[in-house]
Amino acid sequence: MGKNLQVEILVDPPFRNLVDERSLEKAALAALEHEGVKNAQATVVVTDDERVRELNRIYRGVDEPTDVLSFQTSGGEDFVAAPEAEAYLGDVIIAYPFTAAQAREAGRPIEHDLLLMVVHGILHLLGYDHAEPEEKEVMWSKQDAILEELVKGDEK
């Protein structure tokens, strides 16, 4: 049947003129579609390093900034939703300054790394991880395939 995918993009004011919200939404939708998700909602937030550091400290016990955090919503087995309702997957939180510095260091455009962070975060919301080498290989392969599809789509 049809797809009902919704991604909300929230960009903090200092970064609004630096971020193409439509491209972030497109990346999130591409990751969901690549994984065969038909009904889902997620939120992508672009914020500063301090906010991400605070979230990292509170929820992961790591008092450092990072590029992206994913907060998966756990509906739990007891949670009942209407069959046509979209599942809320969770939130992807991106630290713009950290990601920009990382991109500069690697010699890539910030736009590339923002898309990578969105795809990476969405894959985490879908249950993928990279703690073990085998998991990392699977997740990185999916990221590469999704980003490649995005680039091809933009060239059309």
The 10s digit of each residue's pLDDT in 117-154 is 999 999 999 999 999 999 999 999 999 999 999 988 77
Q: Kindly report the average pLDDT of the chain as a whole number.
A: 91
For the residues of 29-67, what is the DSSP string, one character each? HHHHHHTT--EEEEEEEEE-HHHHHHHHHHHHS--S--S
Contact 75, 87 (CB under 8 A): yes
- CA 151: distance to chain centroid? 17
- Give CA separation, 12 vs 44, 116, 127, in Å: 11, 19, 27
pTM for this entry: 0.90
* 52/74: higher pLDDT: 52
Q: Tell me which architecture the domain covering 4-155 has in CATH.
A: 3-Layer(aba) Sandwich (3.40)
**What are the E-state strand segments in the chain?**
4-11, 39-47, 68-72, 87-95
**Residue position matching structure tokens 């699977």:** 138
Sequence spans of domains, the chain: 4-155
Give the closest residue to 128 by CA, choosing from 89, 85, 79, 94.
89
The 10s digit of each residue's pLDDT in 91-105 is 999 999 999 999 999
pLDDT for res 3: 75
